[in-house]
């Protein structure tokens, strides 16, 4: 998304078209919230199974680079990175988001002193209490 403000994206899900022989739902990224996106809510969305998971921003299902965003009750399934926040992003709130990963894929970013992870809200609360 680019150039979006004071808006919302609610209950949007990726899906596997019947003609896909493999379990692929998105090509590379689920949703990208660019620097020109602000005061926007993303709630109840589910993106899954990206085809490309290699280097170069592939396999990111919720890629956040905007400002003052609320991401609530979203789900990332089998990503390279479920929720990733770039260094330009600020004032964003992540609440009750989940990531279901397979293998050794990570769902954390570490631009800050402490890694920001979105495996579950309960787990996040434990990180910040340390």
pLDDT in tens, 87-117: 788 899 999 999 987 654 444 444 444 444 4
Dihedral sign computed on CA atoms, order 117, 119, 120, 122: negative
Q: Integer distance in angstroms from the first to the last C-alpha of the chain?
A: 35
pLDDT (tens digit per residue) in 16-54: 988 888 888 888 889 999 989 989 999 999 999 998 787
Contacts of 21 (CB under 8 A, 6+ apart): none
Nearest alpha carbon to residue 41 among 75, 5, 15, 80: 5
Counting every residue written for the chain, the total comes to: 130
**How many other C-beta atoms are found inside a 10 Å radius of the C-beta of residue 129?**
6
* Complete DSSP assignment for 57-121: TTTEEEEE--BS-EEES-EEES-SEEEEE-TT-BS-EEES-EEE--TT---EE-SSSS-EE-S-H
The model carries a pTM of 0.75
């Amino acid at each position: 998304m680019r150039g979006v403000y004071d808006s919302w994206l609610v209950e949007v899900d990726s899906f596997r078209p019947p003609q896909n022989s493999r379990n692929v739902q998105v090509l590379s990224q689920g949703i990208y919230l660019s620097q020109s996106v602000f005061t926007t809510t993303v709630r109840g969305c589910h993106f899954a199974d990206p085809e490309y998971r290699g280097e170069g921003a592939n396999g990111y299902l919720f890629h956040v680079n905007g400002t003052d965003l609320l991401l609530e009750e979203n789900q990332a399934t089998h990503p390279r990175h479920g929720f990733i926040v770039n260094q330009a992003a600020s004032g964003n709130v992540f609440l009750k988001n989940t990531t279901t990963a397979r293998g050794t894929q990570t769902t954390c970013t570490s631009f800050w002193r402490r890694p920001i992870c979105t495996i579950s809200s309960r787990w996040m609360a434990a990180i910040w209490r340390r």
